[in-house]
């Protein structure tokens, strides 16, 4: 089961912005949805707009 936190502020290297954070059962961040983030390559984006952290 995954939990989404809607309206979180996520801090990226290039600044903070609102996003939906997906939390895995073990408490780790599983992804960030529609954050319009520019990442350093630590994350990849799939067709749904979910940033997945390997």
pLDDT in tens, 5-51: 766 777 767 777 777 777 777 877 777 765 554 444 445 545 455 55
Q: How far, CA to CA in Å, does 24 sit from each of 13, 16, 36, 40?
A: 23, 22, 21, 22
Q: Count structural domains, the chain.
A: 1
Per-residue DSSP letter, 43: -
**What is residue 40's predicted lDDT score, i.e. its pLDDT?**
43
Domain that holds residue 34: 3-52
């Amino acid at each position: 089961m995954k939990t989404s936190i809607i309206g979180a502020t996520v801090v990226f290297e290039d600044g903070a912005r609102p996003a939906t954070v997906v939390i895995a059962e073990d408490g780790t961040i599983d992804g960030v949805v529609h954050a319009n983030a520019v990442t350093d390559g630590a994350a990849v984006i799939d067709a749904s707009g979910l940033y997945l952290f390997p």
